[in-house]
Structure 1
Amino acid sequence: MATMVLNATDLFDFEVIESLNKPSPFPLAGASIKSADALYHPKAGSIQLKHAGFPHLQLIDMRWDIASDIELHDTVPSNSISINFMLEGTIDSRFRGLSHDLNMRAGTHNLIHTPESGHTNQMKGGQSMASLLIGLDRDFFAAAIGSDDAWSEQILTELHHDRPFSGVRGVQTITPQMRHLIDDIRSNKATGPMRNLLIQSRVLELVALEIDQFRKPVAGSETVPPHEAEKLHQLKAYLEATFLEEHTLAQLSRYCLLNEFKVKKGFKELFDTTVFNYLRKLRMEYAGKLLRHCSYTVDEVAAMLGYEHSQHFSIAYKKYTGLTPTHYQQGKKSVVMA
């Protein structure tokens, strides 16, 4: 498949983009952001945007059903702080002035300040990409972060000299607390002044959690160097976003750019479990939620987890929890999952 090369200004040129009058097949959750456009670009595919503007911050809830491989060039400079919470899909970016690429995966986030233009974004076709994008006024951001720690002091220095920077060299994991705030922002149905206040407060709380995470470097261990630990934390976030998919050690090794030995040894060292035991934990806990809180049958849950035969799922579930799926679903006794 040939890669489409587009400029961001061309992509969002409304003389080229046709507004869709019919309901979009990829509706964004809720109605939290006031303006909503379902757009179609003949080269790029279907795009949905919801935008809200407030003093000192802009908010975009975006979903993009990407038709083909795209290389998107951004030629418009920006002096704001740009934050991306990547919810679905992947995007690989190169920013002018940054010495490292920024490869966003589902369940990760970062912030950048890139006052120069000349950025390039690579996106694979056939995927649905969803992001919550936040733009903060740089002076507001500088006043908000203070200068009482090494991370903030470094960021303020970069801002003072108008130099590009990212929050961390790679990406960080979207935590459950962050995800709760993101869902609240996207699904908030309040109206009027209450809506504006609630969204702004949630966004600022979300940014505060992000900055607090940046201030605490990814911990390594005696045997796992910090740069490898960072990649393994990214791998953990990837597993949390894709645990229903089939994974091989070779594929996971390619994803995080570490050899298979380092993936196996480092993951066990950092998280006190193996990669595939962690995947099993995620799948079984998800199955438990479906069984207890949804109206699915055991056969349906087994199929959702990729089991060809529900009996195999029942055996695996009982081995993990001590109960059969049917007994757990009926709530015959409380079980704390390992």
Structure 2
Amino acid sequence: MAATVLQTTDLFEFNRMPGSEGLAADGFLRFQNRKAGNVAVKNIVFPHMQIMETQWETANDIELQDVNPSEGISINFMLGGTIDTQFRGIRQELNMRPGTHNLVHAPEASHRNRLKRGQSLSMLLVSLDKAFFMSAIGQDDSWSERILNELHHERPFSGISGTSTITPQMRHLIDDIRSCKALGPMRNLLIQSRVLELVALEIEQFKTPVLALEAIPADEVEKLHQLKRYLDANFLSDHSLAQLSRYCLLNEFKVKKGFKQLFNTTVFNYLRKLRMEHAAQLLRNYALSVDEVADRLGYEHAQHFSIAFKKYAGLTPSQYLQGKAPVRPLAYA
């Protein structure tokens, strides 16, 4: 069956879903269309940036065409579903998978997005004003010099070849942006600060040199990404390498080697990082004691949790609760 061809403007010409007059309590506008499915969009606009959260239940295979040039910098954080995009002027396709992100400048029109039917797409798109972005990144390294040169000559580019992985630290910032409960000026300032921190983490990741690695077969890459998504959702459970190998249908050697190569950390160090990020959120956002947080993370003794947390954050949980100056988290490698 041929894909349904839509223009991006078509997404906002759907019938409004019954009972969705005006903005919903969660801030989303909801639409439905028999060809494309159900779409929900939340849009926040500031002077130098726009933040759009999109949720899309696709009804058919879709080719989404965008004929409008963009002067800004587009950053897409893919949280669920898959999109394969070909930008005019950028040689390689950007195949977005859950838990990935990239940065694109596409001043030329006519790029195409391919989406499979029956998906639950979820993404956060950040658009930055070009002049603001150029002034923010500076020119003190080869990556920034390359980007500024491309922008000066109005050439399309992507931040890196392909996509990069959303880290747990990025994911927590995304969650903060999506669920911000503050009101008025405080909300505006918090959201903008989280977005800028998110972009800074992304650029730092792009600037980090990547060593040439032995290619991992595409089917194994997909299984390792599936395993990572499973860990993201089940990081508080106990896991063994044998159980995880059965889950993703790869042998233990391929899980150990492939996960380290693809995500630059071991499976169990990644789990520890997720748990410590979760602990930091519990300490920061909930009125829980150190003992209660340790118990939620499955530690028999709070002291063992405190040691693990200090290794991650550079602060004990008590110091963290007291608002001591944060120390850069130690990488679990």
User: Same-fold call, TM > 0.5?
Assistant: yes
1:52 is matched with 44
- Distance in 2 of aligned mates of 1:81 and 1:269: 29
Mark the CA change 1:154 to 1:93 in structure 2 (over 3 Å): closer, same or farther.
same
1:241 is matched with 229
**Higher relative contact order (CA closer than 8 Å, sequence separation 6+):** 1
2:22 aligned with 1:6, yes or no? no
The equivalences for 1:1-338 within 5 A come to 1-12=1-12, 14=13, 17-22=14-19, 31=26, 35-220=27-212, 224-225=213-214, 236-243=224-231, 246-249=247-250, 266-267=258-259, 278=267, 332=300
Mark the CA change 1:80 to 1:247 in structure 2 (over 3 Å): closer, same or farther.
same
- Distance in 1 of aligned mates of 2:194 and 2:260: 35
Aligned partner of 1:9: which letter? T
Secondary structure class of the residue paired with 2:133: helix
Per-residue deviation at 1:242?
Answer: 4.1
Answer yes or no: is the 8 Å Cα contact 1:80–1:138 preserved in 2. Answer: yes
Per-residue deviation at 1:9?
Answer: 2.1
1:100-130 CA-partner distances (Å, limit 9, x unpaired): 0000011110010010111110111111000
* Uncovered stretches (5+) of structure 2, i.e. residues with no partner: 234-243, 283-294, 309-333
Aligned partner of 1:248: which letter? L
- Distance in 2 of aligned mates of 1:330 and 1:201: 33
Mark the CA change 1:328 to 1:118 in structure 2 (over 3 Å): closer, same or farther.
closer
Number of aligned residues: 273
TM-score between the two structures when normalised by the length of structure 2: 0.70
- Distance in 2 of aligned mates of 1:105 and 1:128: 12
Identity, % of aligned positions: 51
Per-residue deviation at 1:42?
Answer: 2.0
1:23-79 CA-partner distances (Å, limit 9, x unpaired): 79xx99x84xxx520111221100110001001101101111111111111111111
- Distance in 2 of aligned mates of 1:18 and 1:154: 44
Answer yes or no: is the 8 Å Cα contact 1:71–1:123 preserved in 2. Answer: yes
Answer yes or no: is the 8 Å Cα contact 1:173–1:233 preserved in 2. Answer: no
Answer yes or no: is the 8 Å Cα contact 2:58–2:119 preserved in 1. Answer: yes
Answer yes or no: is the 8 Å Cα contact 2:49–2:129 preserved in 1. Answer: yes
